Structure 1
Amino acid sequence: MTVTIAANAAPRPVPLPIPRPIPLAEIAPWAVFAALVAVILLYFVSTEQGAFALFKGMLVHEYVHDGRHLLGFPCH
């Protein structure tokens, strides 16, 4: 018994499975967390030890001073 294989026979492509969409219930907690972190960072860069302060001293102001100017917030 002889088996002949054509010289130009190409393997058939295997279809990739279509990924299922991520449910909103899985994304929502991470989206809320990211939004909360963004709001906290925005507070520290824009407001802390400028017009309003939660912490005494100038440590936070000096730490975010260049970022404040980069984002266009006045501080002095």
Structure 2
Amino acid sequence: MVSDEELRRIYNLFTDCWRYFKKYVDVSDEDIYWENVVGESGELSKKYNNDKFAIALILAVVNEFERKAKELRKNAETQ
């Protein structure tokens, strides 16, 4: 059974990942954008002691940013 404390930690992880997603959802090809995305993902990982579940959630968000960036590049090339 999962303790209330563990559920709170997981809730906070999801909340932090949502805020991270919201902050960077407007994808850019600028180097500074990706430096910030990578830097903050590392900070989040550290905050949750490099927990495997935390890393998986963070990577899911980063993968979505990468997918959106590829889509934007593809659309720019076809115009």
**TM-score band, normalised by the shorter chain?**
0.3 to 0.5
State TM-score, norm by structure 2: 0.31
Greater helix percent: which structure? Answer: 2
- Choose between structure 1 and 2 for higher RCO, CA contacts under 8 A separated by at least 6 residues: 2
